[in-house]
Structures are given as C-alpha cells and as structure tokens.
C-alpha cells in the first residue's frame, strides 16, 4: 500500500524563495574585488537572481547547459548558484588554483558555454583563452565602471542583468535534474566531475541544517572561508538561507589579519574552513590576545584538524566541530559536535581525544569499512580498512567517466572513498590516512596524520607533513618535513620523545628535513604528492 502524500520535487530555487519571504532581515555581506563591502538581504538576492535568470536565457542558456564560474566568495557568485540551476542549467564552479592543463581539460570536458569570472581572473583567462572552448562567452562579475584592462570582448555582469525584470517564471524541474558540477582536484590523473542534482543538494542542505544546526540559526552570522569554487562551500549557500543565518563572504583575502578584521567587524558567530586557514587566524588571535567579537564556533574539515588547533580554539571559548567529507559526498559525511551528555560527563582531555577523531555520520550517510577481500570489518575502533559510503548525497558515478565510475563503486553500489579508517562502537570515524598517503613499513602501516598531529604541537613547528620514502628493506619509511616557526630547529630527539607518548618506536620518522613552506593543493591542503615528488631521490640515514 502506498502513502497518499503529495510529491513535490525538491528544488534549489525554492530555498531562496523561502528565505526571501521568511528570513527577510538576514544579510549577505560580501567583500568585493572592487575593494568595498556590499550588503543586501535574501529578498534583494532573490530579485537579482530573477534578473540573472532572464539574462542567462537571453545568452542562449537552456536546460542542461553548463555555465562555469571562476570567482571568490561573494554575492554575485551566490546569485549564479541559484539562477543557473533555477533555469535548469548546471553551475560548474572552477577552482582558480588548477593548473592550465586542468583548467583546459575541465572546461572542454564539461563543455562550458559561458564563463563568469571575477575581475581578478581576467589576466589568467586572457593567458589561456586560446586553449578554452572557442565559442565560450565571458562575463566579468562587476559593473561597467570597474571593467578591468584586458576585458575587451567580455560582457559586464551588471549591464547584463540590469535591463531585466526581477520576476522570473521559474520552471518546475524534475528533482533529479543536474544542478551543479564540481571536479575533484585530480591529484592523480585528470580531474573527475561530481554532478549534483536539485534533490541531492536540497537533501544535503536539510542534513547540514539538522547536523550542524547549532551554528546555523536565525541570527547566526556564518563565514564560509571554504570557497564557493570547491564543493559548493560545503553546502552553506543553501543551508544558510534555509535556516535564516546570514552569510559573510570574505572575497579573496584569507590571511589571518584580513579574516580577523572581517569577523570582528561583521560579528561572525561561526566560521567554516580547512585547517591551513585556521592556522593563520589562530596566529592573529594569539598576537592580539583576543577573539574576534562574537566568534563562538568553528567547523574544521577537508583534512585532519590537529589536536593542538582544536585545543587552542576550545580554550579561547570557540567550540570546534571537526567534520569529514569529500567532493563526491556533497561533501559532508560526518560531524563532530560534542553532544551535551559528553560535555557534562567527560574530562577536557577525553573530549579533545574525541574531537580529534573525524566525527559521527550524519543522517542519510551510511559508512562501512572493508578488508582487502571486501569483507565488512567490525566497528570496534581497532579494525581498519577502506571506507565505503552510501546515501542520497553521494555520487552514483562520475560525470561522463565510466572508467572512474567502475573503479569507485563496489558490487553493491557503495562508493569507495580511498580513505583508510576505523569506526568506534559509538560511531566515531577515525580516518587513519588516505590510502595513498599511508606509509607501508615492513608489512605494517604508519598513519602520517597521527605523526603530524603530535609534531605540530611543538612550539618551534609552524607546519609539518610526513611522507613515505622508498626503502630497500622496509618498503617505505616515514620522513618528517617541517616548516620551522622561528630560527630554532626542532631536533630528532625532541620529536621522538613527543611521539613515543603516542606511537610505537618503529613508527618514528627516520629523519627530519626543514623547508620554507609546504606545497598546497588547489583546495588549500598540503600536497603530499608534490612533496613525495620533491623528495623522490631522498636518502634516509640508514640507506
């Protein structure tokens, strides 16, 4: 017997329509590339999204067409998210830190028709334009007065939308309709596209609103440092309007000082981003001896949040949610908000231990860990295997890439994350490492994350990474690469002493190398691949 309930398609534009009617005082504040700060409400945004819908139609965009963006976090980028998907198009957000080869590859692979770009990216596009699709239309996201040098032949965003009506007859789209496209950074091989639907996007927004709801309420002021050009800024452009939280978009300046000043001025309550960004902010908080006004929660994900980072925030009265996810999961898979019962009963150290883990699954995402033969392993906190996921917000395949799809899915249709993990009986996920970053030593393995997490707490260490060096006897052994904080160089003996409190002797790194900075991926994570290439011929002391 079927239930007798209406079936209304889940639709992205309905999220903004809702916010424009119900959350009329919530704001979107944007630091613009023009150099000033822009602010308006969801109601204003919805009207401009209507104008943009008409403009896209006038450019010839129809259902299923891909429209690319190359832009920072700001209100025009937000408008594109809604207008492109609202008319049935697909918003393809491009990461500006991709190499020229990758940029060329994905614009052709996606068959982008139009590219909307921030003024800052005009030189970049002019340098590669010959390699991009020849019939691409370029639109610079500014007004006529700020069109930059080199933008001849490109259209102007404000001129484009200015002439149009604010009311758009949004079509009712099947909820499976594609809405946005995001390519993984492609650390190996070509980037692979995750193509989200209206349904998956709205379900993901609901999920975040439930699971991370404490930092997303009406009156909250949320700073997505995580970029709109990567995994839809962890869904915040959809969840914030749904919940009535205001969005504070930081534009291009993401250094500690710029973030602190913006957060203080705009009274940001919750900030979301990867650990490398928070290092800068914590440095600034340390230097000034105070938090930005109103700052009370931080969501850290994208790579493992070091324990010392979590502790520093918590001591300063900023509650930490350590989350895990990936592009292929929209992206959120787990959240690490400590339940009240834990806060009431556990010691600070026990809480920190738990917060250093990767949180617990959100509703709608199932997790399993399997051994090499594909058999499920117990959730006992000890057994470690490859992590597979399943759910309505997980991709069922890569965009136009059957080979990658076949490689990623198991026989039951679960998606293989490429992470090696354990799960505790309470449901806490422990990401040991990416399978490709584990150090395989003498038939056992060493987690680079575990070692980094301890060493980063040393006062003379600004940042660090552990990579595998090929070894004739053990297969691989760990090398610790350190960016020193000042002139002092941490010694091997000091590092060993710290590490021996947490890991076995055979897991200690064989050597330390000092570098000026660590290479980052396009998404701001340490690029272990680049580091491994740089140290490919490295000889450890016993070799």
Phi and psi of 482, rounded to 5°?
A: -125, 135
Question: Among the candidate windows 84-92, 108-116, 183-191, 504-512, which touches ligand ADP by CB under 6 A?
Answer: 183-191
- Cα-based distances in Å from 177 to 98, 174, 264, 335, 365: 27, 6, 40, 28, 21
Rounded (5°) CA angle 279-328-368: 95
Residue 86 in contact with residue 170, Cβ under 8 Å? yes
Q: How far is the CB of 427 from ligand ADP (least distance, A)?
A: 15
Residue from 11, 93, 185, 448 in contact with ligand ADP (CB under 6 A)? 185
Question: Does residue 419 bind ligand ADP (CB under 6 A)?
Answer: yes
For residue 268, give every residue at least 6 positions away whose Cβ sits within 8 Å of its Cβ, in sequence order, or none: 221, 222, 223, 248, 262, 292, 294, 295
Tell me the closest approach of the beta carbon of residue 436 to ligand ADP, in angstroms: 9
**Paired tokens of 146:** 């700020």
Shortest distance in whole angstroms from residue 405 CB to ligand ADP? 16
The region of 145-153, 180-188, 340-348, 477-485 touching ligand ADP under the rule CB under 6 A is: 180-188
* Cβ 461 to ligand ADP shortest distance, Å: 19
The answer to whether residue 463 forms part of the interface with ligand ADP (CB under 6 A) is no
Closest separation in Å from C-beta 299 to ligand ADP: 10
Which residue lies nearer to ligand ADP by CB, 161 or 194?
A: 194
User: Of the listed pieces 78-86, 196-204, 242-250, 319-327, which binds ligand ADP according to CB under 6 A?
Assistant: 319-327
Residue 358 binds ligand ADP, judged by CB under 6 A: yes
Query: Of 170, 324, 445, 474, which residue is the catalytic one?
Result: 445
| Distance in Å, CB of 351 to ligand ADP, minimum | 17
* Catalytic residue list contains 440: yes
- C-alpha–C-alpha distance, residues 337 and 361, integer Å: 11
473: annotated active-site residue: no
> Looking at 163-171, 321-329, 463-471, 497-505, which segment touches ligand ADP (CB under 6 A)?
321-329
Annotated catalytic residue, options 257, 440, 485, 525: 440
Q: Of the listed 79, 266, 328, 386, which one is catalytic?
A: 328
- Using CB under 6 A as the binding criterion, the count of chain residues that bind ligand ADP stands at 21
Is-catalytic flag, 393? no
In 3D space, the residue among 297, 419, 269, 444 whose CA is nearest the CA of residue 358 turns out to be 419
Number of residues in the chain: 543
**Torsion angle defined by CA atoms of residues 220, 166, 84 and 272, in that order, rounded to the nearest 10 degrees:** -10
Taking the least distance from each CB to ligand ADP, the nearer of 30 and 330 is 330
Give me 493's structure tokens: 């003996």
Gap between the Cα atoms of 282 and 524, Å rounded: 17
- 464, two tokens: 């660090």
Per CB under 6 A, the list member of 181, 247, 308, 326 interacting with ligand ADP is: 326
Identify residues 276-305 at the interface with ligand ADP (CB under 6 A): 301-304
Identify which range of 145-153, 255-263, 318-326, 466-474 contacts ligand ADP by CB under 6 A. 318-326
For position 235 contacting ligand ADP by CB under 6 A, the verdict is no
Task: Give the Å distances, CA to CA, from 388 to 131, 328, 392, 536.
Answer: 37, 12, 14, 31
Please tell me whether residue 397 adopts helix, strand or coil conformation.
Answer: coil
CB of 472 to ligand ADP, least distance (A): 29
Active site residue 528: no
Nearest-angstrom CA–CA distance, 213 and 55: 35
With H, G, I as helix, E, B as strand and everything else as coil, classify residue 366: strand
Question: Contacting ligand ADP (CB under 6 A), which of 43, 187, 217, 291?
Answer: 187
Binds ligand ADP (CB under 6 A): choice among 151, 184, 312, 355: 184
Coil, strand or helix at 266:
helix
Contacts to ligand ADP from residues 516-535, by CB under 6 A: 521, 523, 525
Sign of CA dihedral 48, 51, 55, 56: positive
434 near ligand ADP, judged by CB under 6 A: yes
Q: Are 316 and 322 in contact (CB under 8 A)?
A: no
- Nearest Cα neighbor of 247 from 237, 257, 255 is 237
Q: Which is nearer to ligand ADP, 88 or 364 (CB)?
A: 364
Helices (H), 212-319: 231-234, 236-243, 256-266, 275-288, 307-315
- Mark the segment that binds ligand ADP (CB under 6 A) among 5-13, 184-192, 276-284, 476-484: 184-192
Alpha-carbon torsion angle 6, 12, 18, 21, nearest 10 = -130
Return the range that interacts with ligand ADP (CB under 6 A); candidates 67-75, 264-272, 325-333, 503-511: 325-333
Provide the edge-to-edge strand list for the sheet that holds 319-322. 37-41, 27-31, 246-249, 221-224, 270-273, 297-300, 319-322
Per-residue x/- track, 481-520, ligand ADP (CB under 6 A): ----------------------------------------
Q: Residue 57: is it exposed, middle or buried by C-beta count within 10 angstroms (0-12/13-18/19+)?
A: middle
- From CA 271, how far away is CA 47, in angstroms rounded? 27
Nearer to ligand ADP, 97 or 485 (CB): 97
32-91: contacts with ligand ADP (CB under 6 A): none
Indicate which residue of 184, 207, 243, 393 is catalytic. Answer: 184
Residue 29 in contact with ligand ADP, rule: CB under 6 A:
no
When binding is defined by CB under 6 A, the residue of 295, 324, 399, 414 that contacts ligand ADP is 324
Token pair listed for 105: 């590859």
Decide: 63 and 241 in contact? Cβ < 8 Å: no
The site for ligand ADP (CB under 6 A) is made up of 184-185, 187, 301-304, 322, 324, 326-327, 331, 358, 417-419, 431, 434, 521, 523, 525
Catalytic residue numbers read 184, 328, 440, 445
């Amino acid at each position: 017997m079927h239930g007798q309930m209406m079936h209304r398609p889940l639709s992205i534009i309905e999220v903004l329509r809702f916010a424009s009617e119900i959350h009329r005082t919530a704001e979107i504040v944007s630091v613009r590339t023009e150099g000033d700060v822009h602010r308006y409400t969801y109601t204003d945004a919805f009207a401009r999204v209507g104008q943009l819908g008409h403009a896209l139609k006038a450019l010839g965009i129809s259902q299923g067409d891909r429209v690319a963006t190359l832009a920072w976090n700001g209100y025009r980028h937000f408008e594109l998210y809604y207008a492109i998907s609202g008319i049935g198009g697909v918003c393809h957000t491009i990461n500006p830190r991709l190499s020229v080869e990758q940029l060329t590859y994905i614009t052709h692979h996606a068959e982008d028709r139009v590219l909307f770009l921030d003024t800052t990216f005009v030189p970049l596009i002019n340098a590669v334009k010959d390699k991009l699709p020849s019939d691409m239309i370029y639109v610079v996201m500014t007004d006529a007065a700020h069109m930059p040098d080199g933008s001849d032949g490109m259209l102007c965003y404000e001129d484009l939308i200015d002439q149009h009506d604010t009311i758009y007859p949004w079509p009712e789209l099947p909820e499976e309709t594609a809405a946005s496209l995001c390519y993984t950074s492609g650390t190996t091989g070509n980037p692979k596209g995750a193509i989200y639907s209206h349904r998956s996007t709205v379900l993901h927004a609901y999920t975040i609103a439930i699971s991370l709801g404490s930092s997303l309420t009406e009156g909250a002021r949320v700073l997505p440092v995580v970029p709109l050009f990567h995994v839809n800024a962890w869904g915040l452009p959809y969840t914030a309007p749904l919940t009535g939280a205001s969005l504070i978009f930081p534009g291009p300046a993401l250094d500690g000082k710029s973030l602190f000043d913006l957060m203080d001025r705009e009274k940001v309550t919750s900030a979301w981003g990867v650990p490398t960004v928070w290092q800068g902010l914590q440095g600034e908080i340390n230097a000034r001896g105070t938090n930005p006004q109103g700052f009370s929660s931080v969501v850290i994900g994208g790579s493992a949040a070091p324990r010392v980072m979590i502790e520093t925030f918590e001591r300063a009265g900023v509650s930490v949610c350590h989350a895990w996810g990936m592009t292929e999961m929209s992206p959120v898979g787990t959240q690490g908000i400590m339940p009240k019962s834990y806060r009431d009963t556990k010691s600070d150290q026990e809480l920190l231990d738990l917060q250093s883990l990767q949180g617990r699954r959100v509703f709608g995402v199932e997790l399993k860990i399997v051994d090499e033969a594909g058999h499920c392993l117990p959730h006992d906190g000890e057994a470690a295997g490859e992590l597979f996921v399943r759910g309505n917000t997980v991709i069922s395949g890569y965009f136009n890439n059957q080979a990658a799809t076949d490689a990623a899915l198991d026989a039951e249709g679960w998606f293989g994350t490429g992470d090696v993990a354990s799960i505790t009986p309470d449901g806490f996920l422990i990401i040991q490492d990416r399978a490709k970053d584990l150090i395989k030593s003498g038939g056992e393995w060493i987690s680079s994350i575990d070692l980094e997490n301890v060493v980063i707490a040393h006062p003379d260490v600004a940042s660090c990474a552990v990579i595998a060096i090929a070894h004739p006897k053990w297969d691989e052994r760990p090398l610790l690469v350190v960016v020193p904080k000042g002139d002092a160089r941490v010694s091997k003996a000091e590092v060993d002493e710290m590490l021996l409190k947490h890991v076995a002797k055979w897991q200690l790194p064989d050597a330390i190398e000092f570098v000026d900075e660590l290479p980052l991926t396009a998404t701001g994570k340490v690029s272990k691949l680049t580091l491994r290439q740089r140290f490919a011929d490295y000889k450890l002391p016993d070799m």
